[in-house]
Amino acid sequence: MIKSGLKLGFIGLGIMGAPMAGHLLKAGHVLFVNTVGNVPQELADDGVTICTTAQGVAERADIIFIMVPDTPDVEKVLFGENGVAQGLKGSDNAPAGRGKTVVDMSSIDPIATRGFAEKIKALGCDYLDAPVSGGEVGAKAASLTIMVGGEPQAFERIKPLFELMGKNITLVGSAGDGQVCKVANQIIVALNIAAVGEALVFASKAGADPARVREALMGGFAASRILEVHGERMIKRTFAPGFRIALHQKDLNLALQGARALGVALPQTAIAAQLMQSCVALGHGQADHSALVRALEAMAQHPVAPDA
């Protein structure tokens, strides 16, 4: 158990960041926050301290969590003007934020992550990369899967806080390895969404009821969490974002960039990335990633089910 009343920072209060921060606050911790746009009213009402800069968060908090969309966003939060690093440097009277910990829970480039970690460690602080899987539903339910890279002692110290936000929490390896694991996760998820989409388009085009096909498949070897959740979204046409296509496309681009650097072929990942690009071109970039099925429907000229 970790004592309550810790001074925590949280930067990035979007679809997932807001409920994650809320779990930390409800556990009795003091929370300093910074985000683009307005702080969600529920958090403001519960007594978070709003800071105008990331630097302000880092100056006040002992553990700083970051949850923003992409690699350049993390770099700006950490090392931009009035960024976290400035807050960790301290002043002549308080030379550095030694003993503080930065935890990046965004999904970003593993190579860049290793560079970020080195820079933060040079300031006398610990750094963990801890991307998550589970989407908005998992963030709200505190059931996220959390994949962590970093030093074991830092992981053990922060793990009780991770347990307030997630259920399956694994130290994968050293700095950057959490991000490697998240990229692997996104490859698997994307290919499963594409497979479910193809199956349901095929079934519907062939004249079968896709809802009953999905129900039957859930009892067999094809059963999966993707078929259960995203298959239902495809049938009910509920594409409000839990995890946006544009963000998943970004993750697949990270996979393909890494594959080029490693000399690895990821042919199915490349196809999934093109399907997501098609969705973006069709105007669905801000929809849930289950809306990848729309690209398949466009090619088949047949929807799984009619839109409401």
| Residue numbers annotated as active site | 182
| DSSP helix, strand, coil percent of the chain (3-state; round to 5) | 50, 15, 35
Torsional sign, CA 69, 75, 76, 78: positive
d(C-alpha 62, C-alpha 121), whole Å: 15
Burial classification of residue 220, based on how many CB atoms lie within 10 Å of its CB (0-12 exposed, 13-18 middle, 19 or more buried): exposed
Question: Which DSSP string corresponds to 225-281?
Answer: HHHHHHHHHHHHT----SSBHHHHHHHHHHHHHHHHHHT---HHHHHHHHHHHHHHH
265 Cβ contact partners less than 8 Å away, ≥ 6 residues apart: 259
Tracing tokens 């094809």 back to the chain, one arrives at 222
d(C-alpha 298, C-alpha 304), whole Å: 11
Token pair of 202 as six digits: 């095929």
Beta strand spans in the chain (E): 7-11, 30-34, 49-50, 63-66, 101-104, 126-129, 132-133, 144-149, 166-173
Determine the distance from the C-alpha atom of residue 189 to the mean position of all C-alpha atoms in its chain, rounded to a whole number.
13
